[in-house]
Amino acid sequence: MSVRDPPPPSMGRWRSQRPPPPMAFQQFEQVLSEITITPLAVPAADAADEADVAAVCALYDVDAASAAAVVRMSWEGTSDWDEDETSAGTTVLVVVEDEPGAAAGRLLRSVGYTEAVPAVGRWTMEPGGAFVLVTPYETAAAVERIWFATRDVRMRVSEIRTGGGRGVLTASFSTEIRRLS
């Protein structure tokens, strides 16, 4: 796969790990989660899905019918450090293009990663195929970069920056491998 090919589809089930498999000592810090991304129709067939889509679209004054994509993303995580500690969540994502076909726009999220409130971020699809999402929160900003290394391997670096963007509070790297079964 060349870096100039269009990115493969993100729909499906993904296994997320940190760091990527070949690195030494992964057993000490491997974090696994499973991510499932499912496209939603507009209006959504399921009443709960439709309620979430309608709520977040109303909050940000977006017509769901004009969105480039509407998906539900769910995740469930486990930590090797504490098997009792799991995290799980689900969110509706609405991808809005600045204009039809634009490589940038807004991404509405019914629940944010770092704060359990709805959020809106700016996304850009870089020519090389990296998806960059900047989401400002009240006291910080999340910057995520996601790109495909192969059709079935996505890489993600998530940074949390201070609200003004002048400092980096934390950053993490994970690899997401498509589950084919």
Residues in contact with a second copy by CB under 8 A are 1-3, 19-20, 22-25, 28-29, 124, 126-128, 130, 132, 134, 143, 145, 147, 149-150, 153, 155, 157, 159, 161, 165-173, 175
Residue in this structure with the two tokens 């790990």, named with its chain if needed: 17
Minimum CB separation of residue 23 from a second copy in Å reads: 6
Minimum CB separation of residue 22 from a second copy in Å reads: 4
| Contact of 122 with 94, CB cutoff 8 Å | no
Round to whole Å and give the CA distance between 69 and 84.
Answer: 35
Please say which residue, 110 or 174, places its beta carbon nearer to a second copy. Answer: 174
Six-digit token string for 160: 């949390």
Minimum CB separation of residue 170 from a second copy in Å reads: 4
Minimum CB separation of residue 74 from a second copy in Å reads: 25
Please say which residue, 35 or 57, places its beta carbon nearer to a second copy. Answer: 35
Round to whole Å and give the CA distance between 41 and 71.
Answer: 8
Beta strands in 26-85 (DSSP E): 31-39, 69-79
Minimum CB separation of residue 173 from a second copy in Å reads: 4
Which H helix or E strand runs over 40?
none
Please say which residue, 101 or 127, places its beta carbon nearer to a second copy. Answer: 127
Please say which residue, 72 or 161, places its beta carbon nearer to a second copy. Answer: 161
Please say which residue, 49 or 176, places its beta carbon nearer to a second copy. Answer: 176
Round to whole Å and give the CA distance between 117 and 152.
Answer: 31
Strand bridging mode 86-97 / 69-79: antiparallel
Q: 148: which strand partners?
A: 154
